Amino acid sequence: MILTPRIVIRLVLLGVLTVLVQISFFGRLSLIGASPDVTPLVVMTIGLLGGTVSGAVAGFGIGLLLDCLLLQTMGASGLALLGVGYISGRYREGFGRPRKSAVALLGGGLTMFYVTAFGAIQIGLGVEADVSALVIRDAIVKSVLGGLLAVPVYLGIRLLLRPALIDDRPSARRPFAPRPLDERS
């Protein structure tokens, strides 16, 4: 991903919009008894498109804003989402551009990672909550929903950041290939 000032502005706006939509829309939905969480999916997509640094920075920033707006412990979401961005970035750097099935699997897996990491941080900070069956069920349902939403989120953000993506750029000119000698004349 080529980070021009315009692309950075788009990324910032994407982050802000993600947090607002997560708080105002997805957080207030109830699907199979749980609310879908798109923040790890957006961070994952930025990581998959831009690599580890982009993913980690996006995760930290989105997480920090989320903590501020939800009046949570500052840095907790940031740290968990930072991990999501870093892992997805490493995947991109190791395996290249992912297939849609891989995006769905990553979406589910990284949502589970985020929920678990965030829960672990909260417990570490002394929040007195039991890891009940309800919490585990919530994490599983969130992961399934994350897997389902991952592909549309990935495709949408890829479209938004297309000008910055090297892979998606149409080739400027055909590569040079000299014609064989017997065809000349």
User: Given the rule CB under 8 A, which residues bind another protein?
Assistant: 16, 20-21, 23-25, 28-32, 51-53, 56-57, 60, 63-65, 67-69, 71, 73-76, 78-79, 82, 86, 121, 125
* Contact status, residue 7 vs residue 160, Cβ threshold 8 Å: no
Q: How far is the CB of 100 from another protein (least distance, A)?
A: 23
Residue (126 or 175) nearer to another protein, CB: 126
Q: How far is the CB of 176 from another protein (least distance, A)?
A: 26
**Is 15 or 170 the residue whose CB approaches another protein more closely?**
15
> Which candidate, 141, 77, 85, places its Cα nearest to that of 108?
141
Collapsing DSSP to helix, strand or coil, 83 comes out as helix
Distance, in Å, from the CA atom of 88 to the CA atom of 83, rounded to the nearest integer, reads 9
Query: In whole angstroms, how close is the CB of 122 to another protein at the nearest point?
Result: 10
Residue 94 or 101 having the CB closest to another protein: 94
DSSP symbol at 171: P
Helical H runs in 128-175?
133-160
